[in-house]
Amino acid sequence: MFEHKYRKITIKAFRFNAETDYLPYYKTYEMTVENHELILDLLNRIKWEHDGSFSYRRSCRHGICGSCSIKVNDKPVLACKENAWDMIDLFGDELIFDPQSKKRAVKDMIIDKKDFWDKHEAIKPYVVTDVDPHPEHESKMLPAQLENILDADYCIQCGNCHYACPVLQVNEEFFGPAAFAAAYRFTADPRDEAGHERLELTAEAGQGVWDCVKCYECAEACPKEVNPIEKITKLHNMQFEQNIARRNVATKHAEGFVRSIKKNGYLDEADIVLYSEGPLGMHKHIKTALKMLKAGKIHFTDALPFVDNMPKSKNLDEIQKLIEISQTNKLPKI
Ligand code: SF4
Ligand code: SF4
Ligand code: FES
């Protein structure tokens, strides 16, 4: 039988009305929380029991509409999916509710998601194809083809990953993880014909996948396990396969990584920098190189072009064969 339990907590909620407030502030609410309650229940209780003017978005209460996302103690959550006691276990008995993005706050938890929707729209998040108005049968898809796009298709456009992404905080051009997940989902769809266009768009410096810093925040923030960073990696591969990837520091870094493993069975950190940025680019990393030298991660002769002092893995043959059979695009000869 379900055992009812209760805990007393304090909630500090971000309050701001863009029409009347100059600055935001936090308002404190005390309440007793039962162990079955969700974060959405606590939002409802602030509105229904404490302050009718408190504003937030919600609709389905079933993790489908993607409208109820907020941050709890800086952790992005889908309010109707997150158990309040789990959050109390994690953060203690003071919970802080913030909107997904404070700088886009319109009213309390409600933000203006225009930037999110504009980017979503730009990558054409739908199957582009000439549809026969009188088809003789349905469009068929193999189970393996469906499997390829299934997890990306679970995206509910909640925006959690988008507003957790550190690149978007400093570069508004960047499409962001949700748009990339959608770009992958429709490009990998066998019925679609706009894949080339999407790959061109997502290959552009500044806005594209090569500006992702691989922090995994998007994967952590996603309530539907879409794993956007994995889709970004798949877009990297698709761009290489279709010869769309531009030759720049980021793509050369990816190439240098494979090149190094293929040559040594180990990662040669200095060689990757030399390969992707050239001898002139090396000076930017002097400080890091000195720290790595001190820590024994590199040797002072590592970046010299005629000195090969990298140890070789005893399984080098096997590693090279594995790369050969799994590699889907051609890299420069080493
Ligand atoms: S892994 Fe890339 S896309 Fe995902 S949050 Fe980090 S920088 Fe953004
Ligand atoms: S990928 Fe996940 S976190 Fe990002 S918008 Fe879709 S469901 Fe939300
Ligand atoms: S209310 Fe629809 S996802 Fe939470």
Q: What is the pLDDT of residues 5-38, one digit of tens each?
A: 999 999 999 999 999 999 999 999 999 999 999 9
Q: Taking 80 as the threshold, does the pLDDT of residue 148 lie above it? A: yes
Lowest mean per-residue pLDDT among 27-31, 130-134, 276-280? 276-280
* The one-letter amino acid at 93: D
61 lines ligand 3 (CB under 6 A): yes
Q: Which ligand minimizes its atom distance to the CA of 230?
A: 1
- pLDDT classification of 284: cutoffs 50, 70, 90: confident
Identify the CATH class of 7-111. Answer: alpha beta
Residue 217 and residue 215: Cα distance in Å, rounded? Answer: 6
Average pLDDT of the chain?
A: 92
Q: Which ligand minimizes its atom distance to the CA of 223?
A: 2
Tokens (6 digits) for 281 = 């680019």
Tokens (6 digits) for 271 = 């060689």
Provide CB contacts within 8 A for 2, sequence distance 6+. Answer: 36
Dump pLDDT digits (tens) for 104-115: 999 999 999 999
| Share in percent of the chain as helix, strand, coil (round to 5) | 45, 10, 45
Domain boundaries, the chain: 7-111, 114-132+141-241, 249-326
Q: Taking 90 as the threshold, does the pLDDT of residue 269 lie above it? A: no
pLDDT for 302: 66
Q: State in Å: Cα 97 to ligand 2 middle.
A: 19
CB 69 within 8 A of CB 160: yes
160 lines ligand 2 (CB under 6 A): yes
pLDDT for 334: 41
Report the half-sphere exposure of 192 (CA within 13 A, side-chain side).
Answer: 22
Residue 292 and residue 303: Cα distance in Å, rounded? Answer: 13
Provide CB contacts within 8 A for 98, sequence distance 6+. Answer: 14, 70, 71, 72, 74, 109
pLDDT for 157: 98
pLDDT for 305: 64
Instruction: Give the mean pLDDT of 86-100.
Output: 98
Q: Taking 90 as the threshold, does the pLDDT of residue 274 lie above it? A: no
Atom of ligand 3 nearest to the CA of 64: 3
pLDDT for 6: 96
158 lines ligand 2 (CB under 6 A): yes
Residue 257 and residue 313: Cα distance in Å, rounded? Answer: 15
Q: Taking 90 as the threshold, does the pLDDT of residue 44 lie above it? A: yes
DSSP string, 32-60: EEETT-BHHHHHHHIIIII-TT-----S-
Dump pLDDT digits (tens) for 213-233: 999 999 999 999 999 999 999
Q: Taking 90 as the threshold, does the pLDDT of residue 246 lie above it? A: no
Higher pLDDT, 292 or 200: 200
Tokens (6 digits) for 228 = 């956007």
Q: Taking 80 as the threshold, does the pLDDT of residue 327 lie above it? A: no
Query: CATH code for 114-132+141-241?
Result: 1.10.1060.10
Range list of β-strands (E), the chain: 6-15, 25-34, 69-72, 75-78, 94-98, 105-107, 110-111
Torsion 223-229-234-238 (CA) sign: positive
pLDDT for 259: 85
Dump pLDDT digits (tens) for 177-201: 999 999 999 999 999 999 999 999 9
228 lines ligand 1 (CB under 6 A): yes
- Pocket probe mutation, ligand 3, options 39, 42, 44, 68, max atoms within 8 Å of Cβ: 68
Dump pLDDT digits (tens) for 74-83: 999 999 999 9
Instruction: Give the mean pLDDT of 69-73.
Output: 98
Q: State in Å: Cα 56 to ligand 3 middle.
A: 11
Dump pLDDT digits (tens) for 137-147: 988 899 999 99
- Pocket probe mutation, ligand 2, options 161, 180, 212, 220, max atoms within 8 Å of Cβ: 161
Residue 286 and residue 268: Cα distance in Å, rounded? Answer: 16
pLDDT for 333: 45
pLDDT for 163: 98
Q: State in Å: Cα 99 to ligand 3 middle.
A: 15
CB 57 within 8 A of CB 107: no
Inter-helix orientation angle 249-264/269-281, to 10°: 140
Neighbours of 239 (CB within 10 A): 22
pLDDT for 131: 84
pLDDT for 330: 61
pLDDT for 73: 98
* The one-letter amino acid at 155: C
Q: Taking 90 as the threshold, does the pLDDT of residue 300 lie above it? A: no
Q: Taking 90 as the threshold, does the pLDDT of residue 2 lie above it? A: no
**Residue 334, Cα to own-chain centre: how many angstroms?**
33
Residue 3 and residue 313: Cα distance in Å, rounded? Answer: 57
- pLDDT classification of 46: cutoffs 50, 70, 90: very high
Single out the residue of 119, 79, 83 nearest to residue 99, CA to CA: 79
pLDDT for 68: 98
Neighbours of 165 (CB within 10 A): 24
pTM of the model: 0.90
